[in-house]
Structures are given as structure tokens and as C-alpha cells.
């Protein structure tokens, strides 16, 4: 599949937050399956984490993504270092046991040196339990030590106007672009979605996601323009 961006080290790919229930918007999950060729991973968030019990609506859609070769990550809130290691690892165990995922997306991650040891313990414990792929989301540029802990670190999460003004420190050039991802919301239209992806392709980042969503859960949809940008046509 031909794509128009080569940000140095390979074409852009996508890290998709799938924060919508399959029964609420099955079309969103169909679009995710269509995007499989360019998906680096899909983040599944059932209830700010794995929830209290298994949700029977998820195995079928997750199986389709697995069959399409898509890596699936279970969402876990870390409360910027406020949640204990025991509570986080309980969520890791729940994701692995109920849904057969092999990776986790650790959200609301701290970015300062003072919490780095805590996150080193968290990522080590997650991997020891079988989560062999770990994504950290401080949503901003953290202390460089965080990059050593994860497969991917989200160094930007925010609205499209802020993304246009993003400045990256010089040290990021010493780290492979595959270690960085940017999540952009509130793109007002299809032209802005394309512009955001194009801008990501000019930055030191391999992985991106852009949505037109806004509000409390901007990740509650999979926008059609994103398929168009990557030249994909859903059945």
C-alpha cells in the first residue's frame, strides 16, 4: 500500500484509541479492521480499564483485529503515579486473563524524574506478567528516562491547534522515531486531519492518530477522513 509520508525510518502508522463500545458504534470497529494494514496497535478501554467483569461484546471484535494481525493493548489509568503498583498489576492481570491481550497502554503517566522509579517498577511488573508491549502516555515530553521503559511513549496528546505549535527538544533526535507517538484530537474537518498527519510526518515520530472528536471523550469515534488519508476504503 502506497502512503505519501516517509518521516525518516519508515512510513507513518497509527495507534488508535478505541474508546467506544462495540454495541454503541459497530461501524467504528469496522473502520478499525479496515485500517489494520496501517495500525501499529489498538488501545481498548472498557471502563477506564478492564472493568469489574468480562464484557461479552468485546471478544468478537478483538478476535477480528487479532485475525487481521493488529496488536491490542489494554488501557490502564496510572493517575500520574498516584495508583499503587498492586492496583495497576491487578488491571494488567485482568486484561490478560479476560481478553487475551499481550500489551498495555498506561495512561495519565507522570513525566518528572521524581516518579521515574515508580514507572520502572510498573513496566517491569507488567512485562513479568506477560504484557510484552508497553506504551506510556504522559501526553507531553517527559524526562528522557521514560523512553527507556516503553516500546512507545506518547509525547503529545492534545487538540489540533496546540499540535501546530509543538516544539520538540533537540535530544529527541538521539532516539529512534519508532519510540514516539502523537495523539491529536479536535481536528475540525477532513482537511485538518490530513494536515495533522502531514505535520506528524515532518516530525521525529513514527506513530500518530488524529480524530475529529472533541469533548470528554474525543477518542469515542474512528473518523472516516483518517481512512481517506491513508488510502483505505472500508467495505
Average of per-residue pLDDT values in the chain: 94
Output the pLDDT for position 6.
43
Residue 88 has pLDDT above 60, yes or no: yes
**pLDDT grade, residue 153 (50/70/90)?**
very high
Domain of 91 in residue numbering reads as 13-229
* Residue 6, domain member (yes or no): no
Residue 5 has pLDDT above 90, yes or no: no
Output the pLDDT for position 24.
96
* Residue 67, domain member (yes or no): yes
The answer to whether 108 and 80 are in contact (CB under 8 A) is yes
Output the pLDDT for position 234.
67
Output the pLDDT for position 233.
76
Average pLDDT over residues 204-231: 94
Q: Which of 99, 165, 95 is nearest to 135 (CA)?
A: 95
- 152-159 and 103-107 as β-strands: parallel, antiparallel, unpaired? unpaired
CATH number of 44's domain: 3.20.20.80
Output the pLDDT for position 41.
98
Output the pLDDT for position 211.
97
- The DSSP result for 116-130, as a single string, is HHHHHHHHHHHHHTT
Question: What does pTM read for this prediction?
Answer: 0.94
State the total domains in the chain: 1
Distances from the Cα of 155 to the Cαs of 34, 167, 169, 181, in angstroms?
26, 11, 11, 6
Kindly report, residue by residue over 157-189, the tens digit of the pLDDT. 999 999 999 999 999 999 999 999 999 999 999
Q: Which of 23, 67, 29 is nearest to 222 (CA)?
A: 29
* Residue 131, domain member (yes or no): yes
* Residue 1, domain member (yes or no): no
Amino acid at each position: 500500500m502506497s502512503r505519501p509520508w516517509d518521516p525518516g525510518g519508515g512510513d507513518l502508522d497509527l495507534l488508535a484509541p478505541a474508546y467506544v463500545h462495540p454495541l454503541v458504534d459497530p461501524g467504528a470497529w469496522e473502520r478499525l479492521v479496515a485500517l489494520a494494514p496501517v495500525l501499529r496497535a489498538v488501545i481498548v478501554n472498557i471502563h477506564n480499564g478492564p472493568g469489574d467483569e468480562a464484557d461479552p461484546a468485546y471478544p468478537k471484535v478483538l478476535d477480528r483485529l487479532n485475525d487481521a494481525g493488529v496488536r491490542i493493548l489494554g488501557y490502564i489509568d496510572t493517575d500520574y503515579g498516584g495508583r499503587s503498583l498492586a492496583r495497576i498489576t491487578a488491571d494488567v492481570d485482568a486484561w490478560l486473563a479476560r481478553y487475551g491481550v499481550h500489551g498495555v497502554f498506561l495512561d495519565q503517566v507522570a513525566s518528572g524524574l521524581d516518579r521515574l522509579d515508580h514507572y520502572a517498577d510498573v513496566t517491569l511488573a507488567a512485562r513479568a506478567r506477560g504484557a510484552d508491549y508497553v506504551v506510556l502516555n504522559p501526553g507531553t515530553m517527559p524526562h528522557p528516562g521514560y523512553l527507556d521503559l516503553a516500546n512507545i511513549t506518547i509525547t503529545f496528546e492534545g487538540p489540533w491547534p496546540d499540535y501546530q505549535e509543538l516544539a520538540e527538544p533537540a535530544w529527541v533526535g538521539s532516539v529512534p522515531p519508532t519510540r514516539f507517538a502523537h495523539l491529536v484530537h479536535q481536528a475540525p474537518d477532513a482537511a485538518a486531519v490530513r494536515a495533522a498527519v502531514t505535520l506528524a510526518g515532518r516530525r521525529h515520530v513514527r506513530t500518530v492518530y488524529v480524530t475529529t472528536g472533541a469533548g470528554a471523550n474525543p477518542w469515542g469515534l474512528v473518523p472516516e477522513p483518517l481512512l481517506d488519508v491513508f488510502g483505505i476504503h472500508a467495505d
